[in-house]
Structure 1
């Protein structure tokens, strides 16, 4: 098993997308990259802790290749937006990849190069060392499945899930 810690806007969207993929065994929403120990959602939302909203995606690379996990990441968010995704604005919504080994850094760097070929403009995704990961509060875990009719989920998460389902159909779990 491998785990990638990725930030691409609100963690609800990343969580919703990665849970649909065959070979993904766990997704944990959380926070990393900041200075405040054990931050709360409310603290992170201020943008003053330095943390990003992230997901820790654990997957079986024999079932779904690492490159696919990373290509999905660059499909489901716009890596050209600095410190934001759509209407979600602040450093907590930055595009970032947090590596835990030199091998992960190399994979992440290569995926940024691939992403630059897909997107017009400059990819601003940070590739930085993973610092301490803090799990988000329980109500954030699997938020989309627990709140499918919630306005943000309908307006923002559903289009992202549908885009990935279309682009990566061969990796989508059977319903």
Structure 2
């Protein structure tokens, strides 16, 4: 098993996307931080996954393609497009994938690669947000389109409904 942190806007969306992937064994939703100047708490998830089933480069690519990592919108610094690394080799893989996806899009790479330093869980009522009630208006409007994209573009790694 491998673990990695992913930040990309709303943690409900990131959690819902990552939970839909084969090979993912656990997703902890909450707030992550790194070293200064990126030490403010930011929404994200910690994903535990089997890299033999879901390669790290594929997980990072899915993450980049399912949130707006090219933007700079971040109310109160709460949203940060980032990959939080903590295991050997993760930084090199993240660097390569972020550069490739940015080049394909013809934009500057803005997703940060940060050392993972700390995590705190969301309140219980916010965890498993999509799984507990996928019919919520927020889920229908924001998470369902991301899951539809996954099913169309990454069908081989998406769990059956």
Query: TM > 0.5 between the two?
Result: yes
Moved more, 23-32 or 146-155: 146-155
* Partner residue in 2 for 1:61: 51
Structure 2 matches for 1:21-170, cutoff 5 A?
21-33=21-33, 50-84=40-74, 89-170=75-156
How many residues align? The count is 158
2 CA distance for matches of 1:142 and 1:14?
11
1 CA distance for matches of 2:61 and 2:152?
13
Aligned pair in 2 of structure 1 residues 83, 130: CA closer, same or farther (>3 Å)?
A: farther
Q: Which runs of 5+ in 2 are unaligned?
A: none
Runs of 4+ in 1 over 4 A off after TM superposition: none
Length-normalised TM-score, structure 2: 0.90
SS at 1:81 equivalent: coil
What is the Cα-based RMSD across aligned positions, in Å? 1.7
Give the deviation of 1:90 after TM superposition: 3.9
Residues 52-100 of structure 1: CA deviation (Å, up to 9, x unaligned): 101111110111111111110011011111144xxxx342112011111
Q: Which runs of 5+ in 1 are unaligned?
A: 36-48
SS at 2:152 equivalent: helix
SS at 2:89 equivalent: helix
Length-normalised TM-score, structure 1: 0.83
Check the 8 A contact 1:3/1:56 in 2, yes or no: yes
